[in-house]
Amino acid sequence: MTPSGAASMCTSADEGVIKFVAEHRSARLDPRRHGELAAQLAGWRQVMMLCGVVGQDPARYGGAGFGNLSARIGAPSSGLGRRAMLISGTQTGGNAGVQLDDFCAVERYDVRANRVVSSGLVLPSSEAMTHGAIYDLGPHIRAVLHAHAPTIWRRAAALAIPTTRPEVPYGTQEMALEVTRLSRESALAERQILAMAGHEDGIIAFGRSLDEAGRVLMSHLARSLEPRT
């Protein structure tokens, strides 16, 4: 991590690698502003970890950490590309527990320029651009959960979950644009969940709050575990 300025853009296909230009300022986040929301995110992350959809497992994805989550910190009226969020830091998926220092504040993102502006002691999740694209779907969206849920992913069609094209890789401009396409061509707004066909086990749920996004994710996880008839 560089103390300030732009981090190098990575192009590796490995899990959790940042693929956008990160203009990041290394600074401790203010607990008075972000502490309460970080605690709520940490609570939902713990639930996701207990369900096995966030974490790190030597037998999965080459041992890399997986899963991330975010919540809006700006006003609902913020413009496109400026819907600030508190998001889990890159490469923190394997942490047993997290606190404020494990989150990053994304202040701006530009899909066309492939650029994210952020601050914190960690760089933003590699999926920060995708989270931004989801927040840009509507000012009412306040939370995004990115899970790695094999049972949901494998049954996405049966569960009528909008699905990205398989050739679109995670964490890219193309994935952010794919979210926009799905919002036009599918029932994404109503379903509040999508599957990432080109990102093994990748599922994203969103909602007006962390609790709502969590209910969407957990209800689909329960449905994906129902016996097939």
Banded pLDDT at 229 (limits 50, 70, 90):
confident
How does the average pLDDT of the chain come out, rounded? Answer: 92
Asked if residue 218 is part of any domain, the answer here is yes
What pLDDT, on a 0 to 100 scale, did the predictor assign at position 46?
Answer: 97
Tell me what the mean pLDDT of segment 171-187 comes to: 96
For residues 137 and 189, is the Cβ–Cβ distance under 8 A? yes
Whether 183 is in a domain gets the answer: yes
What are the tens digits of pLDDT across the range 112-133?
Answer: 999 999 999 999 999 999 999 9
Q: 100 in a domain, yes or no?
A: yes
Helix (H) / strand (E) element for 220: namely helix 210-224
The stretch 186-214 carries a mean pLDDT of 97
Q: Evaluate whether residue 178 is within a structural domain.
A: yes
Q: Which of 132, 229, 142, 148 is nearest to 196 (CA)?
A: 148
pLDDT band at 74 (very low <50, low <70, confident <90, very high): confident
Residue 229 lies in a domain: no
Q: Which domain holds residue 105?
A: 6-224
pLDDT in tens, 148-178: 999 999 999 999 999 999 999 999 999 999 9
Q: Which of 148, 114, 119 is nearest to 132 (CA)?
A: 114
Residue 133 lies in a domain: yes
Q: Are 195 and 186 in contact (CB under 8 A)?
A: no
- Write the CATH number for 218: 3.40.225.10
Q: Is residue 160 part of a domain?
A: yes
Work out how many domains the chain is built from and give that number: 1
Inform me whether the pLDDT recorded for 12 exceeds 80.
no
Residue 24 covered by a domain: yes
